[in-house]
Amino acid sequence: MTALAPVHETVAAPPRNWKTPIVLSVLAAVTFVVFGLLGNAQEVTFRWSEADDTISLASLVVASQPLCLVLGVLTLLGAGFAYYRAYRREKVPLWVSIGVGALFIIGLFANVGAGATVPVVFILTGAIGLSTAVIFGSLAGVVGERVGVANIAIEGQLLAGAFVAAVVASVTDSLFLGLIAAMIGGALVSMVLAVFSLRYVVDQIVVGVVLNVLVVGITNFFYSAVLSDNSEEFNFPGTLPSLPIPLLSSIPVIGPVFFDQRITTYVMFLLIPTVWFVLFKTKWGLRIRAVGEHPLAADTVGINVNNTRFWTVTVAGLIAGFGGAALTIGSVGAFVREMSAGQGFIALAAVILGRWNPWLAAVAALLFGFSRNFRIWAGQIGSPIPPDLIAMTPYLVTLIAVSVLVGKAVAPAAVGKPYIKE
Amino acid sequence: MKLELRGITKRFGSLVANDSISLTVQPGEVHALLGENGAGKSTLMNVLYGLYQPDEGQILLDDEAVVFAGPGDAMQAGIGMVHQHFMLIPVFTVAENVMLGHEPTHAGGVLDLAKARELVREISSRFGFEISPDALVSDLPVGAQQRVEIIKALSRDAKVLVLDEPTAVLTPQETDELMVIMKQLAASGTSIVFITHKLREVQAVADTITVIRLGKVVGEAEPTASSAELASLMVGRDVDLTVDKPPLHAGADALVVTELTHFDDHGQKLLDDVSFTVRAGEILAIAGVQGNGQTELTEAILGLRHRVYGSVKLGGRELVGSSVRDILDAGVGYVPEDRKKDGLVGEFSVAENLMLDRSFAGPFTKGLGVDFAHRDEFAREAIGEFDIRTPGGSTPAGRLSGGNQQKVVLARELSRDLQLFIASQPTRGVDVGSIEFIHERIVAVRDSGIPVLIVSTELDEITALADRIAVMYRGRIVDIVPSDTPRSTLGQLMAGVVA
């Protein structure tokens, strides 16, 4: 036989990946047909400024149906391009997916908001507000998984942080002490996780699930035994004040969204780049990632694997606990039973969706808050879409985003695996 | 730096892995540590590297006693180690891997990547390595990854470099290059401890040879010692290094593989248009460096892989697309390359493992249950016939030594009516005594007129067993050559070079 024979043409080539084009074309079809062809001819008003803004922008008023038809054509073009790329066995660029997704969302707003107003600033600020805890949770998740510990207990850490923040701030009458206490609360939960999974090598998932149930139990107990009867004394912390940044906060749209927020939100804005920088630009980050990828290799260059894991997971707990504070003293100003309501799990989904990258994970978490806020707004304007259907949107968004974007996400190789020395 | 180990003893439970081992490595010397798999070489080096604490004995560097609580201490003292399984992080760049644990930093712990890159460039140019500091380790070929390991050790100013079975993953050419590097390093004053079980390499490069058997030093030898002398030291008796093979009586084409192609889940082509035939009563051996599609080839034939295109005909019957069970029922015996993972269930008893492939029907079942009497009787016979050293049929298979585990797999696979026998790495991690036995059995299968397909990364095994040799490189068969083809030619084929 001849060596290095040419590949036979009859041999089947690797299968094409149609997943992304299919999802995109469904979005495009909905935009074009449901929002466009079957759409609403009424006008929709996009409001850029609120009444008390220093600089006021005029609202944009357009007819919903023609706008959606244009958006529909654009999304169809995007989906077509995705099919073309998939046919040629090429990757569909991320910007195409994001672009189609964004146009779909605009179309959704234009359709649901026909005959009403879309308050852009409210939508965006609300999205950030509703995402804050999830973003902190996802950053905690990224940090934990990067060092190789599957942190299922984010939910419990958020809840612990929320509870401790409310109680400590009420008792000491200091919101600042509430924040500190929330971090410690979150860190304590993660230390329990670390001790059991690292020292006693109990399965990390099992410990995490147990911790979540435990924190729910403890907080529920104290809530009904103590807080609900003495809410003046124990569950009345007040809320952190808004801190508008002079000048910047008067920029239209951007100002109120980014520069007129609470301290918790500012910390969140700063924490995303900080986590990224520490993970990818410092020696601690390098060591954390090394431990999460190949603990034995890290050990052979003198890095103490379990110490690194313990302290990194503790830091993750500090972050999640702080995020919990955003639920109480950074938001409604009181603790409510089980108020984390699954946000810790959504944060975990955001970690995977964001491919263990703090930026992408934060964006994924934001997407979730955004769709939650959409539901609130749609309810307010009395949208004809059934409320139960609207209530599904966050999960639908998560599902679509996961299926389109995740593809070949590569987790840190040693996540969830204990490191046991022989 | 002079390294001395004095009376090192290391026990794991009742097992004495190292029994009062002493050896001295002079500065600038290549000191070979020769022994079979499981002789205790790696344990000894892990003691030296601080991964294990010795139960007794001392480590001396330049005549001063040292104690290493962990690898960090050992590195600090100037000991570098290239592990058999590379300690590299695949998703990191070369520079990141090299600096890990002793990172050059700016203020505030910020990595100084420029400095790390410079360090990599400086060391690799010193030895002519041509390795880019920004390459991802997972993109590098195995030989280059090994050099990254060496750079890693040298970047920490290693004065003693331990190489643990460094040639296991290399082509013969890469092995030769490594020999040159070792000599170069030794000439620049680095002491080298070279752990291996391959006699040829020891003779080529070592200044001094220490032979270890069953955890004890059994002798020192000069590099001029003959292979037979070294082998008998290693094994403790005279060893026949050749396989007695009667002349070939090949029959008709029995296994015909045509244009077999296979993709993984990411669309990567792992088998590329593989075609060959094996005649009845013939051994075709597949040579090649590990990871060039050999595993995929055997698993594809056995129906263990999806996305397999092409044809595999056994006695005229098409196997591609059939279920694993149908393929086994067609008379295919299969010894997988990783017996612990794929060949045995370690927690199951020897007897249970011996009937693992026939739990559906047949001699071992009675109604819905297992015929325990027959199972135990069969186990007794197999243990006797295959000389399986086990306390009994009810002992968990995972407790046996590597060689005896392999005999369990072999006994099971050879006890059916075979039309084809496939063995992947049949003697990996097996003691020399068992190697002889396993080779004899394989040759016996061949002589009974059954086509045999062997996959091995050990050229010695290939040349000893094969009637013809097919060389694989990057998922293709580069060439099929007679068994008396010179090593150098095989080596070139293994590197993808077509003669």
If asked whether residues B290 and B165 sit together in one domain, one would say no
Q: Which of residues 304-323 of B touch A (CB under 8 A)?
A: 307, 309-310
Query: Which of A3, A281, A303 lies nearest to residue B101, judging by beta carbons?
Result: A303
Q: Which residues contact A341 (CB under 8 A, 6 or more apart)?
A: none
Phi-psi domain of A302 (left: phi exceeds 0; alpha: psi -120 through 50; beta: other):
left
Q: How confident is the model at residue A398 (pLDDT cuts 50, 70, 90)?
A: low
Do residue A301 and residue B102 have CB atoms under 8 angstroms apart?
yes
Is B91 an interface residue toward A (CB < 8 Å)?
yes
Q: How many residues does chain A have?
A: 422
Sheet containing B15-25: give its strands across. B15-25, B3-12, B56-61, B64-66
| Distance of alpha carbon B158 from alpha carbon B74, whole angstroms | 10
Question: Which ranges in B127-226 belong to alpha helices (H)?
Answer: 142-155, 172-187, 199-205
Q: How confident is the model at residue A20 (pLDDT cuts 50, 70, 90)?
A: confident
The ipTM assigned to this model is: 0.83
Residue extents of the structural domains in chain A: 18-115, 123-369
Q: How confident is the model at residue B12 (pLDDT cuts 50, 70, 90)?
A: confident
If asked whether residues B207 and B313 sit together in one domain, one would say no
* Structure token digits, residue B24: 């001295």
Is B498 an interface residue toward A (CB < 8 Å)?
yes
Is B75 an interface residue toward A (CB < 8 Å)?
yes
| Distance of alpha carbon B3 from alpha carbon B48, whole angstroms | 10
- Where b means 16+ CB within 10 Å and e means fewer, B167-188 reads bbbbbbebbbbbbebbeebbee
Per the CB < 8 A criterion, the answer to whether B184 and B110 are in contact is no
Q: What is the pLDDT of residues B359-392, one digit of tens each?
A: 877 788 888 888 899 999 999 999 999 989 888 8
Q: What is the DSSP string of A290-322?
A: HHHH-HHHHHHTT--HHHHHHHHHHHHHHHHHH
Model pLDDT, residue A161: 96
Per the CB < 8 A criterion, the answer to whether B467 and B297 are in contact is no
Mean pLDDT over residues B287-310, rounded? 91
Do residue A89 and residue B96 have CB atoms under 8 angstroms apart?
no
**Is B156 part of a structural domain of the chain?**
yes
Per the CB < 8 A criterion, the answer to whether A82 and A24 are in contact is yes
Q: B13-18 — which CB contacts under 8 Å span 24+ positions?
A: B16/B215, B17/B43, B17/B215, B18/B43, B18/B44, B18/B47, B18/B54, B18/B215
| Cα A394 → chain centroid | 11
**Is B70 part of a structural domain of the chain?**
yes
Per the CB < 8 A criterion, the answer to whether B434 and B38 are in contact is no
Domain range for B401 is: 252-495
Beta bridge partners of B470: B286, B480
If asked whether residues B211 and B268 sit together in one domain, one would say no
If asked whether residues B127 and B100 sit together in one domain, one would say yes
> Which backbone phi and psi does B286 adopt, to 5 degrees?
-100, 115
Model pLDDT, residue A58: 82
- Residue A395, pLDDT > 80, answer no
The distance of B63 to chain A (nearest Cα, Å) reads 24
If asked whether residues B231 and B263 sit together in one domain, one would say no
Q: Which residue has the tokens 């309810």?
A: A379
Handedness of CA A408, A409, A413, A418 (dihedral sign): negative
**Is B92 part of a structural domain of the chain?**
yes
Q: Of A24-38, A285-299, A372-386, B367-381, which one has max mean pLDDT?
A: A285-299
CA atoms within 13 A on the CB side of A229: 5
What's B419's domain CATH number? Answer: 3.40.50.300
Query: Which of B81, B267, B310 lies nearest to residue A300, judging by beta carbons?
Result: B81
Is A282 an interface residue toward B (CB < 8 Å)?
yes
Q: Which residue of A has its CA nearest to B87?
A: A297
If asked whether residues B263 and B163 sit together in one domain, one would say no
Mean pLDDT over residues A113-132, rounded? 90
What residues in B contact A293, CB-CB < 8 Å? 89-92
**Is B103 part of a structural domain of the chain?**
yes
Q: What is the mean pLDDT of chain A?
A: 88
Q: What is the pLDDT of residues A265-278, one digit of tens each?
A: 999 999 999 999 99
| Distance of alpha carbon B357 from alpha carbon B365, whole angstroms | 12
**Is B189 part of a structural domain of the chain?**
yes
Query: In this complex, how many residue pairs, one in chain A and one in chain B, have their CB atoms less than 8 Å apart?
Result: 114
Q: Which one is predicted more confidently, B430 or B192?
A: B192
Do residue B49 and residue A297 have CB atoms under 8 angstroms apart?
no
Q: What is the biggest distance separating any 2 CA atoms in chain A, rounded to whole angstroms? A: 88
Q: Which residues contact B145 (CB under 8 A, 6 or more apart)?
A: B86, B88, B137
What is the C-alpha radius of gyration for chain A, rounded to an integer number of angstroms?
24
Q: What is the pLDDT of residues A62-86, one digit of tens each?
A: 999 999 999 999 999 999 999 999 8
- Residue A156, pLDDT > 90, answer yes
Is B89 an interface residue toward A (CB < 8 Å)?
yes
| Distance of alpha carbon A155 from alpha carbon A56, whole angstroms | 41
- Residue A53, pLDDT > 80, answer no
Model pLDDT, residue A2: 36
Q: Which of residues 188-217 of B touch A (CB under 8 A)?
A: none
Q: How confident is the model at residue A11 (pLDDT cuts 50, 70, 90)?
A: very low
| Distance of alpha carbon B83 from alpha carbon B148, whole angstroms | 12
Per the CB < 8 A criterion, the answer to whether A161 and A319 are in contact is no
What residues in B contact A145, CB-CB < 8 Å? none
Q: Of A81-85, B34-38, B289-293, which one has max mean pLDDT?
A: A81-85
The distance of A18 to chain B (nearest Cα, Å) reads 13
The number of folded domains in chain B is: 2
Q: Which fold has domain A123-369?
A: ABC transporter involved in vitamin B12 uptake, BtuC (1.10.3470)
Model pLDDT, residue B231: 79
What residues in B contact A407, CB-CB < 8 Å? none
Of the candidates A36, A106, A95, A92, the one whose C-alpha atom is nearest the C-alpha of residue A68 is: A36
Model pLDDT, residue B13: 78
Do residue A1 and residue B83 have CB atoms under 8 angstroms apart?
no
- Residue A401, pLDDT > 80, answer no
Model pLDDT, residue B152: 94
Do residue B90 and residue A8 have CB atoms under 8 angstroms apart?
no
Amino acid at A51: A
Of A101-110, A191-200, B183-192, B240-249, which range is least confident?
Answer: B240-249
The distance of A134 to chain B (nearest Cα, Å) reads 28
Q: Quickly count: other Cβ atoms within 10 Å of residue B311's Cβ.
A: 15
**Is B410 part of a structural domain of the chain?**
yes
**Is B243 part of a structural domain of the chain?**
no
| Distance of alpha carbon B457 from alpha carbon A209, whole angstroms | 46
What residues in B contact A3, CB-CB < 8 Å? 478-479, 498-499
Last residue within a domain, chosen from B187, B204, B235: B235
If asked whether residues B219 and B285 sit together in one domain, one would say no
If asked whether residues B147 and B291 sit together in one domain, one would say no
Model pLDDT, residue A108: 87
Per the CB < 8 A criterion, the answer to whether A94 and A87 are in contact is no
Mean pLDDT over residues A234-238, rounded? 88
If asked whether residues B221 and B265 sit together in one domain, one would say no
If asked whether residues B388 and B480 sit together in one domain, one would say yes
Model pLDDT, residue B368: 84
Query: Which of A3, A303, A410 lies nearest to residue B479, judging by beta carbons?
Result: A3
Q: Of A112-116, B172-176, B291-295, B349-353, which one has max mean pLDDT?
A: B349-353
Q: What is the pLDDT of residues B248-268, one digit of tens each?
A: 888 999 999 999 999 987 778
Strand, coil or helix: B11: strand
Of A62-66, A287-291, B57-61, B433-437, which range is least confident?
Answer: B433-437
Q: What is the pLDDT of residues B196-253, one digit of tens each?
A: 888 888 889 999 999 998 889 998 888 888 877 887 888 776 666 677 888 988 899 9
Q: How confident is the model at residue A405 (pLDDT cuts 50, 70, 90)?
A: low
If asked whether residues B352 and B211 sit together in one domain, one would say no
Q: How confident is the model at residue A57 (pLDDT cuts 50, 70, 90)?
A: confident
If asked whether residues B184 and B68 sit together in one domain, one would say yes
Q: What is the pLDDT of residues B472-494, one digit of tens each?
A: 998 999 999 999 999 888 988 98
| Distance of alpha carbon A258 from alpha carbon B379, whole angstroms | 74
Q: How many residues does chain B have?
A: 499
What residues in A contact B105, CB-CB < 8 Å? 282-283
